[in-house]
């Protein structure tokens, strides 16, 4: 029976770890808060005292953590997973990290005879729990084939973009476009509200018009009704991903990415006010009416 160590049991990681249990893998788990692992432990997962403890004898170690710092800590920090992983073990990074970090981790873990694959995901927590994520993979073709048995429980779609780091490039592009769209629909709806338009008619027009996208459709009604219950993606995470994407753009493009930078600034404000609230609350920041000068 193949062994998987899963590190990071947030909104996405919890469901992903559960998929390995459903598929019959032996699963060890670690998270900063043990309470988030209780249901998985009841289903047969082994609780680990550290990422290094989780990785002992694992055939693959999968991480789903918040950012570059968290990723480096769980892989290479004190009691990090790499300290106990045997040569040839798969190191599958499902976290959304920066491009520079993914390339750096690839070099450092490869130097330890580990196989690093950047494999960020798209999809919401319900897709994570049901194995319907889309995986955005950066790896050699040979390494992808070694990893495939550990990816298939998570996904109905695996997109292979090239060598290590390339999956992260596309994930940052994807999440940057999402940030731009969400900030744009928030500003557009705020204008409509302040202009006194019939918001039901506005929603009908937006959702059936050329500006519609999955992000616009998912957020527009919630923004108008101010219903942000059941947050699936926070302002802090959206800001982090967009900031990583802008840093990448600045390293590749001649001119400063104006639109992308504006989205980062908008989410910096949202993060400062309510970092752990739903990203859609950005409408509450942009919807304040202009002060009267009369």
Contact 266, 178 (CB under 8 A): no
- How far is it, in rounded angstroms, from Cα 151 to Cα 157? 10
Alpha helices in the chain (DSSP H): 11-22, 38-42, 51-55, 68-76, 99-110, 125-130, 141-151, 166-194, 199-208, 214-225, 235-252, 258-273, 282-286
Burial class (CB in 10 A: 0-12, 13-18, 19+), 106: buried
Residues 6+ apart with CB under 8 A from 284: 226
Q: How far is CA 60 from CA 6, 82, 108, 247, 292, in A?
A: 9, 11, 17, 30, 61
Contact 82, 75 (CB under 8 A): yes
Beta-carbon count within 10 A of 129 CB: 19
Which residue is catalytic, options 34, 36, 146, 171?
171
Residue 171 designated active-site: yes
Which residues are designated catalytic?
171
């Amino acid at each position: 029976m193949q062994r998987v160590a899963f590190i990071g049991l947030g909104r996405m990681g919890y469901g992903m770890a559960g998929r390995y249990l459903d598929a019959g893998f032996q699963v060890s788990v670690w998270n900063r808060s043990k309470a988030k692992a209780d249901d998985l432990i009841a289903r047969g997962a082994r609780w680990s005292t550290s990422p290094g403890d989780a990785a002992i004898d694992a055939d693959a170690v999968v991480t789903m953590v918040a950012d570059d710092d968290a990723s480096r800590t769980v892989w290479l920090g004190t009691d990090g997973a790499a300290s106990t992983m045997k040569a040839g073990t798969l190191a599958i990074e499902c976290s959304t990290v920066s491009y520079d970090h993914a390339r750096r981790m690839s070099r450092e873990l490869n130097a330890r005879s580990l196989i690093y694959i950047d494999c960020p995901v798209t999809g919401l927590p319900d897709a994570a729990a049901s194995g319907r994520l889309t995986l955005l993979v950066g790896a050699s073709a040979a390494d992808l084939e070694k990893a495939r048995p550990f990816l298939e429980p998570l996904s109905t779609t695996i997109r292979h973009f090239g060598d290590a780091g390339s999956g992260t490039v596309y994930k940052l592009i994807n999440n940057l476009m999402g940030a731009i769209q969400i900030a744009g629909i928030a500003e557009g709806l705020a204008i409509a509200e302040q202009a006194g338009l019939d918001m039901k008619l506005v929603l009908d027009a937006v959702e059936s018009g050329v500006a519609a996208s999955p992000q616009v459709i998912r957020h527009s009604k919630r923004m108008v009704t101010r219903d942000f219950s059941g947050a699936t993606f926070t302002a802090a995470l959206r800001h982090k991903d967009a900031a990583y994407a802008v840093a990448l753009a600045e390293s590749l493009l001649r001119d400063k990415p104006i639109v992308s930078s504006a989205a980062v600034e908008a989410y910096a404000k949202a993060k400062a006010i309510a970092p752990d609230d739903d990203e859609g609350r950005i409408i509450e920041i942009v919807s304040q009416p202009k002060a009267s000068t009369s």
